[in-house]
Structure 1
Amino acid sequence: MVSCAIMLETLRVLSIADEPLQHAIIFNFNGAEEVVLQASHGFITQHPWAKELKAFVNLEAAGAGGREMVFQTGPEHPWLVAAYAESAKYPVGSIVGQEVFQSGIIPSDTDFRIYRDYGNIPGIDIAYTYNGYIYHTKYDLPEYIPEGCIQRGGENLLGLLTTLGNSDRLEEPGDLKMGKMVFFDVMGFFMIYYPHRIGEVVNSLVVVAVLLNLFRRLKSFRQSGGTTYLFMKLIGVSYAMHSTGFLFMIGCNLALGLLVGYVRPMMWYTNNWLTFPIYTLPAIAIWILVHQKGRKCCESVFQLVSIWDIEAIYFDSALLFWTLLLAALTMGGVASAYICMLLVIFPLILRQLVPDFFNIKMFRSPWLYLALTAAGLLPSFLQVMQHVHHNSIFFMPLMGRSGPGISPDLLIALISVLPVLVFSTYLAGFLHVSKDLTSLAVNFLSISAFFILIGCFTSLGFPYSDNPASPSAQRHAFHHFWRELYAYDGTLEKEDHGLLYIPFDYNEHRYLDNIPELKSMQLQAADKDLAYGGFPYYLPLMPILSKYYVGDLEKPRLQGRLNVSHSKEKLANDVVRHHFTCAGDQVYRNIYLSVVEGGKLIGWSFTSGTPTPTLMPKEITRNHYFVYTTSASAPRGPLQFFLDIQVGEGASLDKHWLDIGFGVHYLDGPESTTPELTAMLDKFPNWTVPLGWVATYQHYRF
């Protein structure tokens, strides 16, 4: 909605501009993204204008407004990032978002992939991520869009399109492939960008500079009466203390996440600020206690040097710690290594090189020491905290639709400890020049325990809210289903019906004991012998939404069913082609495929080449395939397709090799719901967003 408004206003402004653009701009208002990106695929593969496209800008959303963020670019066209950085008035984006999103850990997809893979054109993916709680819910309304969001996004888009529309680089962008770009914004004021290959050179030079500085520090240490052995021993001990602190902070936070996730999962979901006392404060306390204990254990080593030498040694080892990580990430080709580079270069210059160059005796004045230390850490601190902020506003709402498999408290615990991990290394020396801070750590743990207790046992920790000003509802999905399972000989082997419940988050129906239909449901395991587990999943999300419940409900009353006919022909001694015809007026139809072990699907009529299996839970070892079909209205004729199955050498073609299921989802129209389903959904409280519709599943063996 926000993106459409911005596009319309941008179109209006460009249409009345005094100077025409050098290149034409196509504004494509396409929908059908939630039906597996079909509209963008149809445009880029079939529209006559698609062949003329040189680049694209894709506007996305995973929330309701806020600051739009560049999270994907390219591929291999860094000039697009440069165009955005130079033209956007309020640029926001980072290569970190791109590498995280493209790693696959976020269960999402955008039209960017369709234009990139099927159109073979470069582009920029820009998304709103603020307030993901209302994304795809009944609260996804204009009144929840923050003021100024449209103005800000419009100014950025207008600047970008004007720059691209007048760019000579659009003449033949294929000649400008030069690898990916390292890019990141500085608090939204401006963007820094440079080619990744330049970044690798810069990172390498920083690594060399730190090693040379460490050698210089060794030389100075020896001149003051120390030995090389003692210096290396001090560096090693302090480095070990940093590593120990890391392990204890991460381990304790994960243990705390498991505990909180068991007693009161997602208590921070509505009250995000609870993550600080629950997860960040304990990490600070553990850091203090680890170094206080290390201070006593290593006293015999550190008593050989002055107290300020100890602080300097800890700072040296912190530089070495992040430098080694920088070197490892750079060698691994990770563009996000620039964060480690920032964590090294500013402390190196402002805290060590500048005082030495100007002969500043910073340890003579506590205020001067604090000022130089703060100056060295401030740039990297702002960059790290900006990423923590972006991660928090994105991942916290995402946990409400990430499935019941893994406790979301583990991820939030790691995000919450991140700033402590980063800056504890540089501030560790401060603990060794201060008095004993054990009592402070105990106070932090007491505060944390207090908030954990009130979060677990009071309404403060209740995860969800129906507050009209800022709702954070729990999502649920239900299918009133009807299944028919046919045997290899074509006879009806089993017929059943009921209510299928697919939980969207870790709490499932924990707080819905007042709904009798949920209390009587039984947890079901995916049937490994049926295509896609034996139930009508709407989207291929079983690896995420792998847990489901089944309850009793009357058979849904449907006027027409999907009619499936089948024939087969032998293509070779080890290859058989199965022909299918699916007749019916249903709009949303899925095809689920599974090949028996020993055989494989080598081709089909949907696409060229060898079909790619869909991801499945690790306990399901057979290859499964998910085909999603839909149309804007009732199909004009039957769906016809074929599947080519190859069997092992010497195996018979006249045995069971293929499991195929047909799912139909009645998302709209008079058959989309039933009185029983509607009556149950009406019992849900206001802090929930339940979705439900009728679905059927027909399974055959061939």
Structure 2
Amino acid sequence: MGEAWGAPLVLLYLLALRALVQVSHRQLLSPPARGEEREGYLDNITAIGPRTVGSPENEVHTVNYLLEQIKAIESESTDAHKIFVDIQRPTGSFSIDFLGGFTSYYANITNVVVKLEPRGGAEHAVLSNCHFDSVPNTPGASDDAVSCSVMLEILYTLSKSSEPLQHAVIFLFNGAEENILQASHGFITQHEWAKSIRAFINLEAAGVGGKELVFQTGPENPWLVQAYVFAAKHPFASVVAQEIFQSGIIPADTDFRIYRDFGNVPGIDLAFIENGYIYHTKYDTSDRILTDSIQRAGDNILAVLKYLATSDMLAKSFEYRHGNVVFFDVLGLFVLAYPARIGTIMNYVIAAIAFLYLGKKVLQPKNRAINNLKKFFAAFGLMLLSWISTLVTVLIVAVFISLIGRSLSWYTHFYVSVFLYGSAAVVKLILVHTLAKKFYYKNTNDQYLGDVFFDASLMVWSVVLAMITRIGLCSAFICTLWVAFPLLTKLMTHEEFRQKGATMKFVVMYMLGMFVPYLYMMYLSWTVFEMFTPIMGRSGSEIPPDVVLAGFIVASTMILSSYFINFIYLVKSTKTTLITLTTVFVVTLILVCSGIFFPYSSDAANPKPKRVFLQHANRRFHDLDGNLVKSDSGIWINGFDYNGISHITPLVPEINDTIRTPCEERAPFCGLPWILPVHFMFRKNWYLPASEIFPASPIHFKVLTKELTPWNSLRLSFEVSGPSHMSLYIRPHEGSALSTWSLGDGTPVASVGGDYFVFYSRGLQASPWHFWIELTKFDYCDHTKLVVSILKPVSFDAQHEHESVIAHLYQIVSDMKVQFVYDAIIILTINLCY
């Protein structure tokens, strides 16, 4: 095989696959013009502005708008259905294993619940869930106003149908998802309609528009996946996404967890994943969500809801809870799904066939079996060595880029990472095998080497297939593709290769045989990159994003090169390829080091902003006798990516490493107003001194009673009133322990470091918060330090001596298109002794 045509042919093959993947990912619809109702729903909800829990925008204006639209829909419904509407304002608490331990308390938050059922009534129901609240400083079009708009349209469509449903459909417009999933908990644990729910569909977002991905199902209940497979008109689903999300790699969670864990209800979780750069920013506006994205989501969700609401299995859903299911879409055209137990059998059978094929080939003829085994395992070891050395080399480059302060140079220009890390990975792979061919295999037949390295690749994937199947991951189906199709390809091309070697006909036959696994791997890889690249801009100050992305690219390179490594031994030379790729790598490295690729973009059409979180905080530290030992006020600054504030310091000199926030180790959570600073993601903080802030709703914290219990413990009860968001931190003093409390299920859940964190939020007109804790009593007077931080959106009006610096900071940050949130924090320390 000549390098002059071999290398370009492989490149064109991969580019053609990439083009097909691009077409598939952009495979949206061309529907009629956007309907008036749908346009009105989304635009009108986002026009209300940011909808944080406890604000009039969330608790009053959005609720009133939803009620008006539901009433209008009800007036046009047919006689085949009945519509019931309920406003729920629950109060409750729960604990989840989130950020290392997290307890949530909510009071008088708001849910708008609509039930559509047959005229004769229904015993069972399917739930559709969206949330209308948003994080501060964003109109929340994709997260999650568009889903609520789609649900209104679905409600309208179903209510207008003359075809009666078999089961009820409950539409939950929940008003407190961004507050750590509070509203869904209030509904599923307290609302009377929740008892009838047998399945749910949760509508979420991790990006803005595009195709909505089914990234969680179950638990178990394969009939739910089958419902999606049968009903969805434009499927996009992957069990790989499910296993990645549930592994905890992505720092997020959805209402799916609440319905699964507290309601014991199976469901489907789906989300928009495109353009996550502007997720949770002020750029998340309705005009950025394409009509065909909304149409796709509406078609799919309507079809699946209608299917479930007329399904005989819904009423007996618990009887169908048996095992997991393997599911994945094929280029968005259709979904393949089968029980995981069938997949396990199929995986082991295919792995066994591959092992038998390799064993028979290596061990024949018998008089050369030992020599064949040595050569086979030498190729196997060389392949693993090439992968390890490639990974180490590329990670060294990524660490170097991080150390010189050029992280995220690819954030706005993704292909920079491909040219930098991808070219380095391919060069190292080719170089290792070229050197092996020249010095280790210098007198060995090229045709034999090509054959043995193909078999080595097949062996690697067969071993991986058996191992992943043994672990129990449904994602093992990918390895099945990488064993079955190459094995068939080898059998198909064996005669041509044996007789004529690496001819053009052989190469074409070979690439056609590899078409399915390579196309699917490119499709899956691009989906992963589309999700994870924006996440690197909000992954915290401790995770080097270049190292993570470089690792992804190396993994993709190793996988995609698996069955092309043998081509290195079939070509006469790799010199031109190595020189070309090395040149690409060196030029890209120089450009990246020069800083020409600025990470962020304020392009109005396609912004990729830097995220910085600002909070104006007052802090007061007391000793155990109640004496004030330290007091300060300032702007607490957290950079949401690895670059921290390095791009801000040149413009605002006051913001530099001289104001790094020290950890007050004797105070809970370092004496800072988040649970996150002690979390591994956010250890770098900055604190710019500023004047004291005076919240409009100050906290009132009272110790109501101290009661010594018969079992030698102390019960302390409290009353707290204040703003809509508060955080309670508890650290029992040495010699005491927090044994029980009135929150959650009564069992305290410790956070990182053994402290306790409680997040509180309320709607309007909530009663004061009452709770109690119980401490075990030891041999001496125990102390418990409680730190309460109050988060309250505020505005600044140029009254303070540091206002010029603060105003300058805000202006610069705004000019850089940096998203930020104003919050005021008060910290109180209370000495409690008995």
Q: For the superposition of Structure 1 and Structure 2, which TM-score range results when normalised by the shorter chain?
A: over 0.9
- The 5-angstrom pairing of residues 166-185 of structure 1 reads 166-185=310-329
- After superposition, the Cα gap between the structure-2 partners of 1:240 and 1:557, relative to the gap in structure 1 and judged at 3 Å, is same
**Residue pair 1:479, 1:695 contacting (<8 A) in 2 also:** yes
Q: Secondary structure of 2:781's match?
A: coil
What RMSD over aligned residues (CA atoms) do the two structures have, in Å?
2.3
Shift in Å, 1:655: 2.6
Partner of 1:577: 715
Partner of 2:215: 71
- After superposition, the Cα gap between the structure-2 partners of 1:504 and 1:76, relative to the gap in structure 1 and judged at 3 Å, is same
- After superposition, the Cα gap between the structure-2 partners of 1:572 and 1:528, relative to the gap in structure 1 and judged at 3 Å, is farther
Which amino acid in the other structure matches residue 240 of structure 2? Answer: V
Q: Find the partner of 1:412 among 546, 549, 560.
A: 549
Which amino acid in the other structure matches residue 296 of structure 2? Answer: R
Report whether the alignment pairs 1:654 with 2:796. Answer: no
Partner of 1:601: 738
Q: Deviations over 1:72-128 (max 9, x none)?
A: 110111111111111111211111111111111211110100111111100000011
Deviates more, 1:420-429 or 1:563-572: 563-572
CA distance in structure 1 between the partners assigned to 2:747 and 2:176 by the alignment: 26
Which amino acid in the other structure matches residue 680 of structure 1? Answer: L
Q: Secondary structure of 2:297's match?
A: helix
Partner of 2:761: 630
Deviates more, 1:285-294 or 1:624-633: 624-633
Report whether the alignment pairs 1:288 with 2:427. Answer: no
- The 5-angstrom pairing of residues 298-337 of structure 1 reads 298-299=440-441, 303=444, 306-337=445-476
Partner of 2:354: 210
CA distance in structure 2 between the partners assigned to 1:215 and 1:119 by the alignment: 51
CA distance in structure 2 between the partners assigned to 1:447 and 1:515 by the alignment: 36
Shift in Å, 1:523: 1.2
CA distance in structure 2 between the partners assigned to 1:556 and 1:142 by the alignment: 34
- After superposition, the Cα gap between the structure-2 partners of 1:110 and 1:506, relative to the gap in structure 1 and judged at 3 Å, is same
Partner of 2:369: 228
Which amino acid in the other structure matches residue 688 of structure 1? Answer: V
- The 5-angstrom pairing of residues 408-557 of structure 1 reads 408-459=545-596, 461-512=597-648, 513-519=650-656, 522-537=659-674, 542-557=679-694
Partner of 1:697: 827
Shift in Å, 1:560: 5.4
**Residue pair 1:478, 1:692 contacting (<8 A) in 2 also:** yes
**Residue pair 2:212, 2:270 contacting (<8 A) in 1 also:** yes
CA distance in structure 2 between the partners assigned to 1:516 and 1:666 by the alignment: 28
Q: Find the partner of 2:179 among 20, 31, 35.
A: 35
**Residue pair 2:736, 2:782 contacting (<8 A) in 1 also:** no
Q: Find the partner of 2:390 among 229, 232, 249.
A: 249
**Residue pair 1:580, 1:642 contacting (<8 A) in 2 also:** yes
Partner of 1:619: none
Partner of 2:480: 341
Q: Secondary structure of 1:238's match?
A: helix
Q: Deviations over 1:337-389 (max 9, x none)?
A: 1111111111011222x346x88857446123212321232211122112211
- After superposition, the Cα gap between the structure-2 partners of 1:180 and 1:22, relative to the gap in structure 1 and judged at 3 Å, is same
Partner of 1:667: 793
Report whether the alignment pairs 1:158 with 2:302. Answer: yes
Partner of 2:812: 683
Deviates more, 1:516-525 or 1:156-165: 516-525
**Residue pair 1:94, 1:183 contacting (<8 A) in 2 also:** yes
**Residue pair 1:593, 1:626 contacting (<8 A) in 2 also:** yes
Q: Deviations over 1:593-644 (max 9, x none)?
A: 2234554322110122422222x3xxxxx302211111112533x2221112
Deviates more, 1:3-12 or 1:88-97: 3-12
Q: Secondary structure of 1:227's match?
A: helix
Shift in Å, 1:204: 0.6
Partner of 2:123: none
CA distance in structure 2 between the partners assigned to 1:669 and 1:574 by the alignment: 48
Q: Secondary structure of 1:265's match?
A: coil
CA distance in structure 1 between the partners assigned to 2:817 and 2:301 by the alignment: 36
| Number of residue pairs the alignment of both structures matches | 681
Shift in Å, 1:659: 2.7
- The 5-angstrom pairing of residues 43-192 of structure 1 reads 43-192=187-336
- After superposition, the Cα gap between the structure-2 partners of 1:321 and 1:572, relative to the gap in structure 1 and judged at 3 Å, is farther
Partner of 1:377: 514
Which amino acid in the other structure matches residue 250 of structure 1? Answer: L
Partner of 1:7: 151
Partner of 2:414: 272
- After superposition, the Cα gap between the structure-2 partners of 1:253 and 1:598, relative to the gap in structure 1 and judged at 3 Å, is farther
- After superposition, the Cα gap between the structure-2 partners of 1:147 and 1:417, relative to the gap in structure 1 and judged at 3 Å, is farther
Deviates more, 1:364-373 or 1:65-74: 364-373
CA distance in structure 2 between the partners assigned to 1:572 and 1:375 by the alignment: 78
**Residue pair 2:188, 2:259 contacting (<8 A) in 1 also:** yes
CA distance in structure 2 between the partners assigned to 1:49 and 1:659 by the alignment: 41
Q: Deviations over 1:233-285 (max 9, x none)?
A: 11101101110111011111111111122221100001111111011111111
CA distance in structure 1 between the partners assigned to 2:795 and 2:719 by the alignment: 24
CA distance in structure 1 between the partners assigned to 2:690 and 2:658 by the alignment: 10
Q: Deviations over 1:520-559 (max 9, x none)?
A: 7511233232122211127788332232111210111345
CA distance in structure 2 between the partners assigned to 1:679 and 1:501 by the alignment: 15
CA distance in structure 2 between the partners assigned to 1:520 and 1:347 by the alignment: 54
- After superposition, the Cα gap between the structure-2 partners of 1:539 and 1:54, relative to the gap in structure 1 and judged at 3 Å, is farther
Shift in Å, 1:678: 5.1
In structure 2, the gaps of 5 or more residues are: 1-144
Q: Find the partner of 2:169 among 12, 18, 25.
A: 25
Deviates more, 1:96-105 or 1:569-578: 569-578
Q: Secondary structure of 1:206's match?
A: helix
CA distance in structure 1 between the partners assigned to 2:411 and 2:685 by the alignment: 22
Q: Secondary structure of 1:629's match?
A: strand
- After superposition, the Cα gap between the structure-2 partners of 1:326 and 1:659, relative to the gap in structure 1 and judged at 3 Å, is farther
Q: Deviations over 1:405-433 (max 9, x none)?
A: 12100111112222210132211111111
Shift in Å, 1:669: 7.5
CA distance in structure 2 between the partners assigned to 1:74 and 1:523 by the alignment: 45
Which amino acid in the other structure matches residue 143 of structure 1? Answer: D
- After superposition, the Cα gap between the structure-2 partners of 1:177 and 1:217, relative to the gap in structure 1 and judged at 3 Å, is same
Shift in Å, 1:296: 2.5
Shift in Å, 1:592: 1.1
Q: Secondary structure of 2:762's match?
A: coil
Question: TM-score, length-normalised on structure 2?
Answer: 0.78
- After superposition, the Cα gap between the structure-2 partners of 1:260 and 1:333, relative to the gap in structure 1 and judged at 3 Å, is same
Shift in Å, 1:670: 8.3
Q: Deviations over 1:304-334 (max 9, x none)?
A: xx42222111111111101111111111112
Which amino acid in the other structure matches residue 683 of structure 1? Answer: I
Shift in Å, 1:561: 3.0
Report whether the alignment pairs 1:639 with 2:777. Answer: no
Identity %: 33
